[in-house]
Amino acid sequence: MTLLNAPSSCMEMPPPLSRPQHVVLNHLYMQKGKGGPSVVALGTTERFIAKYVTVVLYKSLQR
């Protein structure tokens, strides 16, 4: 797993990600693109027992 927009190297193990704060769990975040292509990004982080799952969905606003 790597952070978005961060360079990755196949030769080394990335450091583990920090645990998300409880205030960001179970919320839906939305960001619309400014300028450029018309895209909206939706993201949420959920907790399942001791693991955390983040899902990001990118959707074009044009039909």
**What CATH number was assigned to the domain covering residues 22-60?**
2.20.25
Domain boundaries, the chain: 22-60
Closest by alpha carbon to 16, among 2, 30, 35? 2
Q: Give the pLDDT confidence score for residue 5 in this predicted structure.
A: 60
**pLDDT score at 18:** 82
Q: What is the mean pLDDT of each run of 10 residues along the chain (63 residues)?
A: 59 76 84 78 88 88 75
**Residue 52: its pLDDT value, please?**
87
Residue 19 and residue 21: Cα distance in Å, rounded?
A: 6
DSSP state of 6: -
Which residues share a beta bridge with 42? Answer: 30, 57
CA-nearest of 49, 28, 52 to 40 is 28
CA distances from 2 to 5, 10, 17, 37 (A): 9, 11, 9, 25
